[in-house]
Structure 1
């Protein structure tokens, strides 16, 4: 999992001799390599916090298993000798905004005990010829050497369809996409792409994806579970019905945002969360998308 330089191996060994866990000692070594191109996050979310239908949950668990048992399957069982493609895994998480794509990437990174490298596309994409490829190469190398999970949020901005060449800009854009295709194929780690516009992705990427997971918009039962998880046990609250809250047509991301906003309202209004605080927060979340709440939360 970790392709460390000799000085890093020595440093990790010294940490272990001082009582550190071997995996944790290796994991700490390459964290600074991504620079400003991405944000390295320590994932903390577990499987019990992920609210998805069984089919999608099974796909995600299988994805984590593929990374965990890669050496056994490819080397010990001989599958790696049948192909000269890279040893890595590329997955696409597709679905509407707020349906849990990024959160699922955190869960997988936590399950694998790896850091999550959240790519900042504003720092990666550059107008100068060849500069974007150089920055992407740095990211892929750092993630591969450090055993990190590489996350491209809203990947359609970077992995878009190749177009008909009409001028030099089109030609360069197509070269950029072609480079990404080759680099993904050679990548030895786990790369996760998320998108809410799957049709905008270049079709050539689909053929190189090991897993495609469609994230559905949550139904009422799923929304109730999300509300229950969004209100921490330590939060002082009056008798609030999560069943009533689930009636509001919100995504998982919007539910988390509304719960946090309601908690701030409660902290500024006596220190106890009430249905009125939640009702106001839900209405504000619905208003973000031009919708109006129905009955009040009770």
Structure 2
């Protein structure tokens, strides 16, 4: 079960680029939207996510799908349902690091593992569509995400974090 992370110790030095603060506050007020976060090389995506959640005035829940995945049929979905329900009840911003690995262009189905992976991705997309909050996807950029996945998410905005000194 994910824990709501209200600490800001790692992200206190980071501030959201001023060009995006109003947009993030609007998404937070609407409680609906998806932010694609790209960061400069060497910057902690977790710290950037914490800064975004702090700017929105919301707790952050980092979902590690590896910890939610189960070898037993149906258990991954149950674990995901519990995690999303807890995050939604807490009004949290959901954070998925390395989202391009999860929501990247789907591969051709060659065996049952591929088919099951696509089914789990579709299930996750359905849950994110229904999620009553903000989702933060850390990625190498919009171009790395499957357009079919992006089309299912609401209010998708890009937040490119500038490198230091810019």
Q: What is the TM-score of this pair, normalised by structure 1?
A: 0.48
Match for residue 147 of structure 2 among 203, 211, 230: 203
1:215 Cα shift?
Answer: 2.8
Maintained 8 Å contact 1:119/1:151: yes
CA 1:61 to 1:99, structure 2 compared with 1: closer, same or farther past 3 Å?
farther
- Which structure has the highest helix share of the two? 1
Q: What is the TM-score of this pair, normalised by structure 2?
A: 0.79
Q: Distance in 1 between matches of 2:148 and 2:82?
A: 23
- Aligned partner of residue 37 in structure 2, secondary structure: strand
1:64 Cα shift?
Answer: 2.4
Matched, 1:65 2:26: yes
Maintained 8 Å contact 1:90/1:184: no
Structure of larger gyration radius? 1
Aligned to 1:287: none
Structure 2 gap segments, 5+ residues each = none
Aligned to 2:85: 141
- Aligned partner of residue 163 in structure 2, secondary structure: coil
Maintained 8 Å contact 1:156/1:201: yes
Q: Distance in 2 between matches of 1:124 and 1:146?
A: 19
Q: Distance in 2 between matches of 1:148 and 1:112?
A: 10
1:97 Cα shift?
Answer: 4.3
1:198 Cα shift?
Answer: 5.2
CA 1:168 to 1:217, structure 2 compared with 1: closer, same or farther past 3 Å?
same
Mapping 1:1-298, distance limit 5 Å: 35=1, 38-44=2-8, 49-50=13-14, 56-68=17-29, 70=30, 88-196=32-140, 199-207=143-151, 208=153, 210-218=156-164, 221-222=165-166
Structure 1 gap segments, 5+ residues each = 1-34, 71-86, 223-298
Q: What is the aligned residue count?
A: 163
Q: Distance in 1 between matches of 2:44 and 2:25?
A: 17
CA 1:97 to 1:91, structure 2 compared with 1: closer, same or farther past 3 Å?
same
Q: Distance in 1 between matches of 2:161 and 2:133?
A: 23
- Aligned partner of residue 136 in structure 2, secondary structure: strand
Maintained 8 Å contact 2:24/2:56: no
Q: Distance in 2 between matches of 1:147 and 1:99?
A: 26
- Aligned partner of residue 103 in structure 2, secondary structure: coil
CA 1:151 to 1:162, structure 2 compared with 1: closer, same or farther past 3 Å?
same
CA 1:217 to 1:159, structure 2 compared with 1: closer, same or farther past 3 Å?
same
